[in-house]
Protein backbone atom coordinates (compact mmCIF):
# COMPACT_ATOMS: atom_id res chain seq x y z
CA UNK A 1 0.00 0.00 0.00
CA UNK A 2 2.79 2.31 0.97
CA UNK A 3 4.67 1.57 -2.23
CA UNK A 4 1.57 2.28 -4.30
CA UNK A 5 0.95 5.64 -2.65
CA UNK A 6 4.57 6.72 -3.00
CA UNK A 7 4.46 5.57 -6.60
CA UNK A 8 1.37 7.71 -7.17
CA UNK A 9 3.15 10.62 -5.49
CA UNK A 10 5.98 10.31 -7.99
CA UNK A 11 3.57 10.11 -10.94
CA UNK A 12 1.86 13.25 -9.64
CA UNK A 13 5.27 14.92 -9.34
CA UNK A 14 6.00 14.21 -13.02
CA UNK A 15 2.51 15.39 -14.04
CA UNK A 16 2.85 18.67 -12.15
CA UNK A 17 6.27 19.24 -13.70
CA UNK A 18 5.00 18.53 -17.21
CA UNK A 19 2.06 20.89 -16.81
CA UNK A 20 4.32 23.61 -15.41
CA UNK A 21 6.64 23.26 -18.38
CA UNK A 22 3.74 23.12 -20.83
CA UNK A 23 2.34 26.35 -19.42
CA UNK A 24 5.69 28.03 -20.03
CA UNK A 25 6.04 26.67 -23.53
CA UNK A 26 3.77 29.14 -25.31
CA UNK A 27 4.30 27.61 -28.74
CA UNK A 28 3.22 24.16 -27.67
CA UNK A 29 0.38 25.62 -25.70
CA UNK A 30 -0.78 27.56 -28.74
CA UNK A 31 -0.62 24.40 -30.81
CA UNK A 32 -3.09 22.68 -28.53
CA UNK A 33 -5.81 25.12 -29.51
CA UNK A 34 -4.60 26.54 -32.82
CA UNK A 35 -4.08 23.26 -34.65
CA UNK A 36 -7.64 21.98 -34.27
CA UNK A 37 -8.97 25.42 -35.14
CA UNK A 38 -6.83 25.96 -38.21
CA UNK A 39 -7.18 22.46 -39.59
CA UNK A 40 -10.90 22.40 -39.07
CA UNK A 41 -11.39 25.69 -40.88
CA UNK A 42 -8.96 24.92 -43.67
CA UNK A 43 -10.03 21.36 -44.36
CA UNK A 44 -13.68 21.97 -43.63
CA UNK A 45 -13.96 24.74 -46.17
CA UNK A 46 -11.48 23.64 -48.78
CA UNK A 47 -11.90 19.88 -49.05
CA UNK A 48 -15.04 20.00 -51.07
CA UNK A 49 -15.44 17.21 -53.54
CA UNK A 50 -18.82 18.44 -54.65
CA UNK A 51 -18.18 20.92 -57.43
CA UNK A 52 -20.50 23.82 -58.12
CA UNK A 53 -20.54 26.92 -60.33
CA UNK A 54 -17.56 26.11 -62.51
CA UNK A 55 -16.95 29.08 -64.81
CA UNK A 56 -17.37 28.21 -68.51
CA UNK A 57 -17.37 30.12 -71.78
CA UNK A 58 -19.93 29.64 -74.51
CA UNK A 59 -19.55 30.00 -78.24
CA UNK A 60 -23.08 29.97 -79.66
CA UNK A 61 -23.09 29.78 -83.45
CA UNK A 62 -26.68 28.60 -83.52
CA UNK A 63 -28.07 31.70 -81.79
CA UNK A 64 -31.55 30.23 -81.72
CA UNK A 65 -34.18 29.65 -79.06
CA UNK A 66 -32.93 26.05 -79.05
CA UNK A 67 -29.39 27.04 -78.15
CA UNK A 68 -30.50 29.61 -75.59
CA UNK A 69 -32.60 26.97 -73.85
CA UNK A 70 -29.66 24.55 -73.93
CA UNK A 71 -27.42 27.12 -72.24
CA UNK A 72 -30.04 27.90 -69.59
CA UNK A 73 -30.66 24.22 -68.86
CA UNK A 74 -26.95 23.47 -68.56
CA UNK A 75 -26.62 26.31 -66.04
CA UNK A 76 -29.72 25.14 -64.20
CA UNK A 77 -27.74 22.07 -63.15
CA UNK A 78 -25.68 24.47 -60.98
CA UNK A 79 -22.55 22.64 -61.98
CA UNK A 80 -21.52 25.43 -64.32
CA UNK A 81 -22.01 29.16 -64.70
CA UNK A 82 -21.50 30.90 -68.02
CA UNK A 83 -19.11 33.72 -67.34
CA UNK A 84 -17.77 34.54 -70.82
CA UNK A 85 -18.87 34.50 -74.42
CA UNK A 86 -16.56 33.53 -77.24
CA UNK A 87 -16.81 34.37 -80.94
CA UNK A 88 -15.34 31.20 -82.39
CA UNK A 89 -14.15 27.74 -81.27
CA UNK A 90 -10.49 28.76 -81.40
CA UNK A 91 -11.11 31.56 -78.94
CA UNK A 92 -12.89 29.05 -76.72
CA UNK A 93 -9.89 26.76 -76.82
CA UNK A 94 -7.49 29.58 -75.93
CA UNK A 95 -9.64 30.59 -72.95
CA UNK A 96 -9.52 27.04 -71.58
CA UNK A 97 -5.82 26.84 -72.25
CA UNK A 98 -5.13 30.08 -70.43
CA UNK A 99 -7.29 29.07 -67.50
CA UNK A 100 -9.75 31.93 -67.97
CA UNK A 101 -12.52 29.33 -67.80
CA UNK A 102 -12.51 25.64 -66.90
CA UNK A 103 -14.54 24.57 -69.91
CA UNK A 104 -15.92 25.88 -73.18
CA UNK A 105 -19.31 24.96 -74.63
CA UNK A 106 -19.47 25.10 -78.41
CA UNK A 107 -22.94 25.04 -79.99
CA UNK A 108 -22.68 24.60 -83.77
CA UNK A 109 -25.00 26.36 -86.19
CA UNK A 110 -26.92 23.13 -87.00
CA UNK A 111 -27.31 22.07 -83.39
CA UNK A 112 -31.09 21.81 -83.51
CA UNK A 113 -31.03 19.73 -86.70
CA UNK A 114 -28.56 17.33 -85.10
CA UNK A 115 -30.89 16.90 -82.13
CA UNK A 116 -33.79 15.75 -84.23
CA UNK A 117 -31.77 13.63 -86.68
CA UNK A 118 -31.61 9.96 -85.86
CA UNK A 119 -27.92 9.29 -86.46
CA UNK A 120 -26.98 10.12 -82.85
CA UNK A 121 -24.81 13.15 -83.62
CA UNK A 122 -23.73 15.23 -80.64
CA UNK A 123 -25.62 18.50 -80.41
CA UNK A 124 -22.79 20.47 -78.87
CA UNK A 125 -19.24 20.04 -77.68
CA UNK A 126 -17.83 20.72 -74.23
CA UNK A 127 -14.07 21.34 -74.17
CA UNK A 128 -12.95 20.50 -70.62
CA UNK A 129 -9.75 21.37 -68.80
CA UNK A 130 -8.85 17.89 -67.55
CA UNK A 131 -6.02 18.95 -65.26
CA UNK A 132 -8.26 18.91 -62.18
CA UNK A 133 -9.71 15.42 -62.03
CA UNK A 134 -12.49 16.18 -59.58
CA UNK A 135 -13.74 19.07 -61.66
CA UNK A 136 -13.31 17.15 -64.91
CA UNK A 137 -15.43 14.26 -63.72
CA UNK A 138 -18.18 16.65 -62.65
CA UNK A 139 -18.10 18.27 -66.09
CA UNK A 140 -18.01 14.93 -67.87
CA UNK A 141 -21.30 14.08 -66.26
CA UNK A 142 -22.80 16.99 -68.19
CA UNK A 143 -22.36 14.90 -71.34
CA UNK A 144 -25.30 12.76 -70.33
CA UNK A 145 -27.36 15.72 -69.32
CA UNK A 146 -31.08 15.00 -70.02
CA UNK A 147 -31.96 17.86 -72.35
CA UNK A 148 -35.54 18.24 -73.55
CA UNK A 149 -36.00 21.27 -75.74
CA UNK A 150 -39.26 23.11 -75.08
CA UNK A 151 -39.98 20.50 -72.50
CA UNK A 152 -42.21 21.22 -69.60
CA UNK A 153 -42.45 17.49 -69.15
CA UNK A 154 -39.00 17.14 -67.61
CA UNK A 155 -40.04 14.16 -65.61
CA UNK A 156 -39.45 11.44 -68.08
CA UNK A 157 -38.56 8.00 -66.93
CA UNK A 158 -36.14 5.87 -68.82
CA UNK A 159 -36.56 2.27 -67.70
CA UNK A 160 -32.91 1.57 -68.41
CA UNK A 161 -31.62 4.15 -65.88
CA UNK A 162 -30.27 3.04 -62.54
CA UNK A 163 -31.81 4.90 -59.72
CA UNK A 164 -29.16 5.80 -57.13
CA UNK A 165 -30.07 6.24 -53.51
CA UNK A 166 -27.54 7.67 -51.05
CA UNK A 167 -27.68 6.54 -47.45
CA UNK A 168 -25.88 8.62 -44.75
CA UNK A 169 -24.86 12.02 -45.96
CA UNK A 170 -27.39 12.05 -48.80
CA UNK A 171 -26.46 15.61 -49.72
CA UNK A 172 -22.91 14.38 -50.29
CA UNK A 173 -21.54 17.13 -48.06
CA UNK A 174 -17.84 16.47 -47.80
CA UNK A 175 -17.58 18.24 -44.41
CA UNK A 176 -19.51 15.38 -42.88
CA UNK A 177 -16.75 13.07 -43.95
CA UNK A 178 -13.90 15.49 -43.29
CA UNK A 179 -14.69 16.67 -39.76
CA UNK A 180 -14.69 13.22 -38.11
CA UNK A 181 -11.57 12.44 -40.12
CA UNK A 182 -9.96 15.62 -38.80
CA UNK A 183 -10.54 14.40 -35.27
CA UNK A 184 -8.22 11.51 -36.10
CA UNK A 185 -5.74 13.64 -38.01
CA UNK A 186 -5.37 16.31 -35.35
CA UNK A 187 -5.12 13.85 -32.48
CA UNK A 188 -2.46 11.86 -34.36
CA UNK A 189 -0.53 15.00 -35.18
CA UNK A 190 -0.47 16.62 -31.76
CA UNK A 191 -0.41 13.55 -29.52
CA UNK A 192 2.39 11.70 -31.32
CA UNK A 193 4.39 14.88 -31.79
CA UNK A 194 4.17 16.02 -28.15
CA UNK A 195 5.24 12.71 -26.68
CA UNK A 196 7.83 12.00 -29.38
CA UNK A 197 9.91 14.86 -28.00
CA UNK A 198 8.91 14.31 -24.37
CA UNK A 199 11.72 12.00 -23.31
CA UNK A 200 14.35 12.91 -25.83
CA UNK A 201 14.02 16.54 -24.68
CA UNK A 202 15.00 15.59 -21.14
CA UNK A 203 18.06 13.89 -22.58
CA UNK A 204 18.94 16.79 -24.88
CA UNK A 205 18.58 19.48 -22.22
CA UNK A 206 20.65 17.50 -19.74
CA UNK A 207 17.81 16.87 -17.28
CA UNK A 208 18.02 13.10 -17.71
CA UNK A 209 20.98 12.70 -15.38
CA UNK A 210 19.03 14.43 -12.62
CA UNK A 211 15.84 12.56 -13.38
CA UNK A 212 17.35 9.09 -13.33
CA UNK A 213 19.28 9.87 -10.18
CA UNK A 214 15.92 10.33 -8.41
CA UNK A 215 13.81 7.40 -7.19
CA UNK A 216 11.40 7.79 -10.14
CA UNK A 217 10.81 4.46 -11.88
CA UNK A 218 10.53 4.14 -15.66
CA UNK A 219 6.83 3.25 -15.69
CA UNK A 220 6.08 6.16 -13.35
CA UNK A 221 7.95 8.53 -15.62
CA UNK A 222 6.08 7.31 -18.71
CA UNK A 223 2.65 7.43 -17.09
CA UNK A 224 3.35 10.79 -15.49
CA UNK A 225 4.25 12.17 -18.88
CA UNK A 226 1.16 10.70 -20.58
CA UNK A 227 -1.54 11.99 -18.27
CA UNK A 228 -1.29 15.73 -19.06
CA UNK A 229 -1.46 14.94 -22.77
CA UNK A 230 -4.56 12.81 -22.34
CA UNK A 231 -6.26 15.89 -20.92
CA UNK A 232 -4.97 17.96 -23.84
CA UNK A 233 -6.30 15.38 -26.28
CA UNK A 234 -9.72 15.57 -24.67
CA UNK A 235 -9.66 19.37 -24.94
CA UNK A 236 -8.85 19.10 -28.63
CA UNK A 237 -11.60 16.56 -29.14
CA UNK A 238 -14.09 18.95 -27.57
CA UNK A 239 -12.94 21.84 -29.76
CA UNK A 240 -13.22 19.81 -32.96
CA UNK A 241 -16.63 18.32 -32.26
CA UNK A 242 -18.07 21.58 -30.99
CA UNK A 243 -16.75 23.65 -33.91
CA UNK A 244 -17.71 20.91 -36.33
CA UNK A 245 -21.25 21.19 -35.09
CA UNK A 246 -21.22 24.99 -34.95
CA UNK A 247 -19.62 25.71 -38.32
CA UNK A 248 -20.45 22.68 -40.41
CA UNK A 249 -23.54 21.30 -38.71
CA UNK A 250 -21.92 17.92 -38.26
CA UNK A 251 -24.23 16.06 -35.88
CA UNK A 252 -23.21 13.05 -33.84
CA UNK A 253 -25.54 10.26 -34.83
CA UNK A 254 -24.23 7.66 -32.40
CA UNK A 255 -23.56 7.41 -28.69
CA UNK A 256 -21.53 10.20 -27.11
CA UNK A 257 -20.09 7.82 -24.54
CA UNK A 258 -18.89 5.47 -27.24
CA UNK A 259 -17.36 8.40 -29.11
CA UNK A 260 -15.54 9.81 -26.07
CA UNK A 261 -14.40 6.36 -25.03
CA UNK A 262 -13.05 5.62 -28.50
CA UNK A 263 -11.23 8.96 -28.63
CA UNK A 264 -9.65 8.20 -25.27
CA UNK A 265 -8.37 4.82 -26.46
CA UNK A 266 -7.08 6.44 -29.64
CA UNK A 267 -5.33 9.20 -27.67
CA UNK A 268 -3.58 6.57 -25.52
CA UNK A 269 -2.54 4.62 -28.62
CA UNK A 270 -0.97 7.74 -30.15
CA UNK A 271 0.78 8.71 -26.92
CA UNK A 272 2.25 5.23 -26.66
CA UNK A 273 3.51 5.49 -30.21
CA UNK A 274 5.05 8.89 -29.45
CA UNK A 275 6.84 7.50 -26.40
CA UNK A 276 8.37 4.72 -28.49
CA UNK A 277 9.63 7.29 -31.00
CA UNK A 278 11.04 9.28 -28.10
CA UNK A 279 13.09 6.34 -26.89
CA UNK A 280 14.39 5.67 -30.42
CA UNK A 281 15.22 9.22 -31.51
CA UNK A 282 18.72 10.56 -30.81
CA UNK A 283 17.49 14.13 -30.36
CA UNK A 284 14.40 16.33 -30.72
CA UNK A 285 15.05 16.94 -34.42
CA UNK A 286 15.31 13.19 -34.99
CA UNK A 287 12.04 12.71 -33.12
CA UNK A 288 10.32 15.14 -35.46
CA UNK A 289 11.72 13.32 -38.48
CA UNK A 290 10.49 9.99 -37.17
CA UNK A 291 7.14 11.60 -36.53
CA UNK A 292 6.86 12.57 -40.22
CA UNK A 293 7.38 8.90 -41.13
CA UNK A 294 4.27 8.05 -39.11
CA UNK A 295 2.27 11.13 -40.01
CA UNK A 296 2.48 10.93 -43.82
CA UNK A 297 1.04 7.42 -44.16
CA UNK A 298 -1.52 8.34 -41.51
CA UNK A 299 -2.84 11.12 -43.77
CA UNK A 300 -2.54 9.30 -47.05
CA UNK A 301 -3.33 5.67 -46.27
CA UNK A 302 -5.75 5.78 -43.36
CA UNK A 303 -8.78 6.55 -45.46
CA UNK A 304 -8.78 10.18 -44.37
CA UNK A 305 -8.03 11.48 -47.89
CA UNK A 306 -8.49 8.51 -50.21
CA UNK A 307 -10.90 5.60 -49.83
CA UNK A 308 -9.28 2.64 -48.10
CA UNK A 309 -11.05 0.17 -50.41
CA UNK A 310 -9.48 1.69 -53.49
CA UNK A 311 -5.89 1.26 -52.30
CA UNK A 312 -3.58 -1.53 -53.46
CA UNK A 313 -3.15 -4.45 -51.09
CA UNK A 314 0.32 -3.39 -49.90
CA UNK A 315 -0.95 0.05 -48.96
CA UNK A 316 -3.89 -1.52 -47.13
CA UNK A 317 -1.53 -3.76 -45.14
CA UNK A 318 0.54 -0.74 -44.09
CA UNK A 319 -2.61 1.18 -43.24
CA UNK A 320 -3.80 -1.64 -40.97
CA UNK A 321 -0.75 -1.09 -38.76
CA UNK A 322 -1.58 2.58 -38.20
CA UNK A 323 -3.88 3.56 -35.32
CA UNK A 324 -5.41 6.29 -37.47
CA UNK A 325 -6.88 3.79 -39.97
CA UNK A 326 -8.76 2.01 -37.22
CA UNK A 327 -9.88 5.24 -35.65
CA UNK A 328 -11.18 6.49 -39.03
CA UNK A 329 -13.51 3.51 -39.22
CA UNK A 330 -14.62 3.92 -35.64
CA UNK A 331 -15.23 7.65 -35.69
CA UNK A 332 -16.99 7.82 -39.05
CA UNK A 333 -19.07 4.88 -37.93
CA UNK A 334 -20.16 6.52 -34.70
CA UNK A 335 -20.63 10.06 -35.96
CA UNK A 336 -22.24 9.35 -39.31
CA UNK A 337 -23.83 5.91 -39.10
CA UNK A 338 -24.70 5.51 -35.42
CA UNK A 339 -22.44 2.47 -35.24
CA UNK A 340 -22.86 0.32 -32.13
CA UNK A 341 -20.11 -1.15 -29.97
CA UNK A 342 -20.39 -4.52 -31.75
CA UNK A 343 -19.57 -2.83 -35.05
CA UNK A 344 -16.37 -1.14 -33.89
CA UNK A 345 -15.06 -3.53 -31.25
CA UNK A 346 -12.31 -5.09 -33.36
CA UNK A 347 -10.89 -1.67 -34.23
CA UNK A 348 -11.15 -0.59 -30.59
CA UNK A 349 -9.39 -3.75 -29.49
CA UNK A 350 -6.59 -3.06 -31.95
CA UNK A 351 -6.11 0.45 -30.54
CA UNK A 352 -6.12 -0.82 -26.95
CA UNK A 353 -3.56 -3.52 -27.72
CA UNK A 354 -1.53 -0.98 -29.68
CA UNK A 355 -1.31 1.22 -26.58
CA UNK A 356 -0.33 -1.65 -24.28
CA UNK A 357 2.25 -2.81 -26.82
CA UNK A 358 3.84 0.58 -27.41
CA UNK A 359 3.91 1.51 -23.72
CA UNK A 360 5.60 -1.79 -22.87
CA UNK A 361 8.09 -1.30 -25.66
CA UNK A 362 8.83 2.26 -24.52
CA UNK A 363 9.38 1.11 -20.92
CA UNK A 364 11.61 -1.75 -22.05
CA UNK A 365 13.59 0.44 -24.40
CA UNK A 366 14.11 3.24 -21.90
CA UNK A 367 17.27 2.75 -19.88
CA UNK A 368 17.64 4.43 -16.53
CA UNK A 369 21.30 4.74 -17.25
CA UNK A 370 23.68 6.93 -19.18
CA UNK A 371 25.75 4.26 -20.93
Site for other proteins, rule CB under 8 A: 6, 9-10, 12-14, 16-17, 20-21, 24-25, 205-217, 368-371
Toward other proteins, which CB reaches closer, 3 or 131?
Answer: 3
Toward other proteins, which CB reaches closer, 144 or 369?
Answer: 369
Toward other proteins, which CB reaches closer, 90 or 207?
Answer: 207
Toward other proteins, which CB reaches closer, 69 or 284?
Answer: 284
Report the C-alpha dihedral over residues 140, 144, 145, 148, rounded to 10 degrees: 150
**Least distance in Å: CB of 11 to other proteins?**
10
Q: What are phi and psi of 260, to 5 degrees?
A: -65, -40
Toward other proteins, which CB reaches closer, 10 or 326?
Answer: 10
Toward other proteins, which CB reaches closer, 166 or 370?
Answer: 370
Toward other proteins, which CB reaches closer, 141 or 213?
Answer: 213
**Least distance in Å: CB of 362 to other proteins?**
19
**Least distance in Å: CB of 29 to other proteins?**
12
Amino acid sequence: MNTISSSIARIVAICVKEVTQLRRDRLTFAMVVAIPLMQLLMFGYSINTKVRHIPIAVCDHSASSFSRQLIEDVQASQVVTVTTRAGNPNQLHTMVQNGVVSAGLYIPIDSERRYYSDNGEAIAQLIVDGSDTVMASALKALGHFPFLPGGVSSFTHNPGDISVTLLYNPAQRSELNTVPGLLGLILTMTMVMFTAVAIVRERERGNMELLIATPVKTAELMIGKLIPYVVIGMIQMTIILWLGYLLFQVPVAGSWWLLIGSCLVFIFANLGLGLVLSTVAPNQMGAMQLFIFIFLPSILLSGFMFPYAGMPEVAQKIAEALPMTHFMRIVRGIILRDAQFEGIQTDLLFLALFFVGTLTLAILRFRQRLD
